[in-house]
Amino acid sequence: MSLDHVETLECTLCGATYDPDQIMYTCPEHDGVAGILEVVYDYDIINERFDAPLDGTIQTQWKYRAFLPVDTEATPITLDEGGTDLLDAPQLSTELGVDVRVKNDGLNPTGCFKDRATSVAVTKARHAGRNIVTCASTGNAAASLAGYAARADLDCRIFVPESAPEGKLVQPRVYGADVLAVAGSYDEAYDLSMEVTESYGWDNRNAAINPFQIEGKRTVGHELAEQTQDSIPDWVVFSMGDGCTIGGCWKGFREFAELDYVDDTPKMLGVQPEGASAIHDAFHGHDEIDEVADTLADSVAVGRPRNTLKACRALEESGGTALTVTDDDILDAETVLGRTEGIYAEPAGAAPIAGIRRAREQGIISSDESVVAVVTGIGLKDTAGAKRAVGDVTRIEPTLGDVADQYGAAETEMEYSS
């Protein structure tokens, strides 16, 4: 049994270090603020163990097992997450005036990139003999945890704001989880889940405090590095909520560059809605940060992000930046992505497209650069949200006349042979 490739857990605020075998979420030295822990690895051990060819063939994220903070003896709890396609997007590129590729992470097993983190979390929980897993969620992490808990035969109890899209309240229950719809915001559901974790001792998946979550998310960085090694993009674009995902991707890409698996790293661009812009505001040094989230992009409706520090580090170290877009921009991006490339994203998944358009307008991204947009979630969980972009369906009677009202009379008569 061995976790020897994990050196320590290091507090991002004070640098104190902790034993990675302990069940510990945050550094206890900081009252009131979360001292988020960083997993520090022994890369000599990882490098020795990692022998998979970087040939672009990626069945699942467990190709990078040597990099994951799981015991070498643990059996992965997996639904084949990761290994998502990196698609050329010629029509979207024309629309945005820059070369864009799309990493379609909405095609993960539960419809969201969260599965990368959840697979690691549930593998660790199961290996440690935990029986009950929990989290607070805007809906995607909930569905993801519920699916993997089902796979691992663990009890799952989750806290979701009651305003979450219907599909996100239903999906985790189909996987057999208890869903408690909290009469409040995601931030309030999150605070409650923390109290519950302390009182009941359930295993908490929340990436905001569970240091191992971001580690699963970083496989999207490993994959992108492998998939783009001959054409590393100038920019990789994510939407940001708590900030853990962009931080994870950057850590994954950066460590592949530091190990000389790839020659370069991209700049990270973080996109937030105007109504939930706390990381953007912190990055740009705004004095006042509005802690009330108000946006239709429900997955990133976060007023008090817990991973601002890791997100800002990713933006800074990569030479990237953060920007905001309006809800209308996001709705527009959802249909642009759908109609140009046949990809149906939820609002937070489409926000990077709105961000690229804004970055082009502001001269942040120039026309001769290349960009990868990471679509983090599928649109099928929130059809009511998408309906705001496409409007009501056209209703007709089952007659040719009603079709003609739409398209005019048929110009040619088809001849059918029997």
Of residues 180-209, those binding ligand LJ64HWYM (CB under 6 A): 206-208
User: Per-residue x/- marks for ligand PLP, 245-274, CB under 6 A?
Assistant: x-----------------------------
- Chain-centre distance of CA 112, in angstroms? 7
Side chain identity at residue 200, one-letter code: Y
Q: Which of the choices ligand LJ64HWYM, ligand PLP, none does residue 376 contact, using the CB cut-off of 5 to 8 A by kind?
A: ligand PLP
Q: Please give the C-alpha separations between residue 261 and each of 54, 217, 222, 231, 376, in angstroms, as whole numbers.
A: 8, 19, 10, 13, 25
* Residues 6+ away with beta carbon under 8 Å from 114: 108, 140, 141, 143, 144, 145
CA distances from 152 to 119, 123, 249 (A): 10, 8, 26
Nearest to 250 by CA among 301, 214, 291: 214
Question: Binding marks (x or -) toward ligand LJ64HWYM, 292..311, rule CB under 6 A?
Answer: -------x------------
Residue 352 and residue 361: Cα distance in Å, rounded? 14
Binds 239, which of ligand PLP, ligand LJ64HWYM, none (CB < 5 to 8 A, cut-off by type)? ligand PLP
* 225 sits near ligand PLP (criterion: CB under 6 A): no
Element counts in the chain: helices (H) and strands (E): 15, 14
- Coil, helix or strand at residue 233: coil
d(CA 259, CA 359): 31
In the set 99, 242, 255, 341, which binds ligand LJ64HWYM (CB under 6 A)?
242
Q: Which of 320, 349, 352, 379: binder of ligand PLP (CB under 6 A)?
A: 349
CA angle 70, 73, 76 (to 5 degrees): 60
Determine whether the annotation assigns residue 140 to a binding site: yes
| Dihedral pair phi/psi, residue 337, rounded to 5° | -65, -40
94 is in an annotated binding site: no
Kindly write out the interface string for residues 85-124 of this chain, putting x where it contacts ligand LJ64HWYM by CB under 6 A and - elsewhere.
Answer: -----------------------------x--x-------
Q: Which two tokens stand for residue 59?
A: 């069945």
Shortest Å distance, C-beta 129 to ligand LJ64HWYM = 22
Q: Binding ligand LJ64HWYM by CB under 6 A: which of 244, 337, 345, 353?
A: 244
The answer to the question of residue 377 lying near ligand PLP (CB under 6 A) is yes
Residues at the site binding ligand LJ64HWYM, with contacts judged by CB under 6 A = 114, 117, 137-142, 206-208, 213, 241-242, 244, 299
Residues within the annotated binding site for pyridoxal 5'-phosphate?
A: 140, 376
Residues in contact with ligand PLP by CB under 6 A are: 112, 140, 239-245, 299-300, 346, 348-349, 376-377
Binding site as annotated, residues? 140, 376
